[in-house]
Amino acid sequence: MTEPASIADSAVQGGVRYTLRVEGMTCAACSSRVERKLSRLDGVRTVSVNLATHLATVVVDPSLGESELEKCVVEAGYGADAVRHEDTMAAAAAVPDTGPALRRLVLAMSAAVPLMVLGMMHLHATWSLVAQAVLAAVATYVAGYPIHKSALARLAHFDFTMDTLVSLGATAAFAYSVVIWILQPHHPEVYFETAGGIVAFILIGRYLEARSKARATAALGGLYAMRSSEATLLRGDGEAVVPIEVVRVGDLVKVRPAERVPLDGVVKEGSSAVDESMLTGEPMPVEKGPSDKVHGGTMNGQGALVVEVLAEVSESALARIARMVADAQGSKAPLQRLADRVAGWFVPAIMTIAVATLVGWLLLGSSGTTTAFMTAVSVLVIACPCALGLATPTAVMVGVAHAARAGVLIRDAASLERAAAVDTIVLDKTGTLTEGKPDVVSFASIEGEDRNAMIGLAAALGGSSEHPLGKALASWARSQGVSFTDAQGVRAEAGRGMVGQVGAHTVRVGAVDGEPPGFEELVRSARERGETVSVVERDGRVVAAVSFADRIRPMAREAIAELRSMGIRVVIATGDHEAAGRRLAEAVGLDPGDVHARQLPEDKMKLIGRLKEQGAVVAMAGDGVNDAPALAGADVGIAMGSGTDVANEVAAMTISRSEIRALVDAMRIARATVKTIRQNLGWAFGYNLIAVPLAVLGVLARFGGPMIAAAAMAMSSVSVVLNSLRLGRSPLQWLRRS
């Protein structure tokens, strides 16, 4: 069987992704069969079939189209419809319609309840037997029609699923009763109530399962509901409300107070506070004004905004998050592979055991044919591969969706499982432990030069640069009331910093070598405090020195303490100097030996390699291009949300919240979800290990036989889904209780 892989990884390799909605799957054996059939198709690279969402995600060679995939699924005995890429989230978020399941259940119970009453009365009058036969036929074959239809469809393809077991068990009880009635018309020992009761209990379980799946899907549906369907488009002197699908990049849209921002864009006019909690998980609104970016799906406050659209609906931040969540929910954790392998041979094995049970009781038992028959039927009905198929996807669905709402985006279920095993986290300093926004701490000019003039030189260069230190200089100069002109020809030179023309002078702002004359004390004291020092050169002569400090994120010390309390070792890798590393270690409560300074990208890679060689399961958290190799080399890469596209692309997780506590939440998410998966799989396997032997030994026959077996089987699937829904408590509350 093809192992699931990251959709992003497959896309990089030139594959094409298709999503199919598969109809007719009822248990793990079904999803396993569809996956096997698709994986054997020439040109298919990876396949993942999700029983909970009924979606199959397939990555294929460009030569293979969706029609071939649909045909393959249909030939396997199931229905298939391709889902457009932009509709994938809508398909995953579609809440299952529980109406048909409820109607079938009502019909089955309306027939099964009087049927059971008549059965318990043991009346052998003709009218009673006729009534029982009619009621049993209604419950078994009218209300239970989809079960038998599915079983026959599978049989036509020489395949067996859970529906095969239920259909075979109910039909055996019904047919046995008819035969006994014909052979012993005066005092037949019929089991019509068993046939009707089996189907009724199965339908109760399937209705409850559908309800539970609807609740699990609602988490993703809530994310999908955040998207706007319309936008107020500005054209000329007028405006028009249009579907967001027709809005293009460069259009201007108006966002009124208390409206959702329709699409990603940049504010051109107006100011307001925007609630971005759907993206970041942070409840405090963010002030927005001209030149600030806004994201589709976020909620505008009391001010009106005019926004220039930067991305169409299919490429918005919300759409990318939605696709990532839908992909993660449709992926499979390695833990599920064992369940998939078991599901492949489970139903044939149970049918074999049922036949062996019948023969064994007939040959060795002393209770007669009826007991042997009912015991064999109990074996057929008690077995449940459904719980195996639902164990992983329901937990992943709930965990991934609520993680997204808490500001943690997870690439796939395999990443989630790896993250749960992490025992060491390597943290980049800038942008991860610190805010990545340096402040000017001190500024000194050479004797004989005007300080404000030197500030203006440095700020002119910084204001024309994208470098964080340059931006900090320009911002600080404005706060000091110093005006400055724009620099020309600004460029970055390796090892020299920023260089450009300010008026008639060549100006450089960059790293300092040693202790320049006149600035010895500033450089020495700044380095002792762990600050970054730069010099300002005018025409090759040092005329000023400036020191910067990056603010440590609030709650950094508390977050690291929580990680360590979870048994996770925290290591910091920074490109800054030793003094800055020591200062950081003291500030966040780490031993100096756990802080590695002067780390180039290749040094971070080597550090992670050494930790892995020591047997550690390593996560790397960073936000820059220089962190990308380490993120890719770690067991789990975690990109901080403020990071670059490169960092986000290679990471297994992306944190969209700016607070360091999100790392703690990410680890708790992973551990809580994987713990739930293991509980579900343990219950699913344990249930069958206990229930099937009890049925074989005839224990169930003493307490109602096949009907009790049907009730137990139905409840096993429901219990797995309900256990997964425990993860669905309000996003940040369940993380901290797990």
Active site residues: 428
* Amino acid in position 68: E
- In the block, which residue shows the tokens 């290679």? 650
Q: Cα separation of 260 and 258, whole Å?
A: 7
Closest CA to 592 of 582, 607, 603: 582
Per DSSP bridges, beta strands 16-23 and 79-83 are: antiparallel
CA distances in angstroms from 1 to 35, 40, 41, 49, 341, listed in the order given: 8, 8, 11, 12, 9
CB count, 10 Å around CB of 13? Answer: 9
115-120: long-range contacts (C-beta < 8 A, 24 or more apart)? 115/139, 115/192, 115/193, 115/196, 115/197, 116/193, 116/196, 116/197, 118/193, 119/190, 119/191, 119/192, 119/193, 119/194, 120/193
Structure tokens at 263: 């699409």
Rounded Cα distance, 204 and 649, in Å = 45
CA angle 285, 301, 218 (to 5 degrees): 75
Among candidate residues 644, 224, 683, the one with its CA nearest the CA of residue 428: 644
- Here the tokens at position 471 are 């931006």
Could you give the CA distance from residue 543 to residue 568 in angstroms, rounded to a whole number?
Answer: 47
The answer to whether residues 377 and 169 touch, using CB atoms and an 8 Å cutoff, is yes
Helix axes 386-405, 192-224, angle to 10 degrees: 20
Between CA 639 and CA 636 the distance in angstroms is 10
From residue 7, give the alpha-carbon distance in Å to each of 46, 47, 141, 403, 411.
9, 10, 42, 19, 9
Measured CA to CA, the distance from residue 299 to residue 197 in angstroms comes to 51
Report the first-to-last Cα separation within the chain, whole angstroms.
34
Structure tokens at 482: 């110093």
User: Could you give the C-alpha distances from 295 to 255, 528, 658, in angstroms and in order?
Assistant: 12, 42, 16
d(CA 600, CA 104): 65
Q: Which residues of 677-713 are buried (b: 16+ CB within 10 A; e: fewer)?
A: bbbbbebbbebbeebbebbbebebbeeebbbbbbbbb
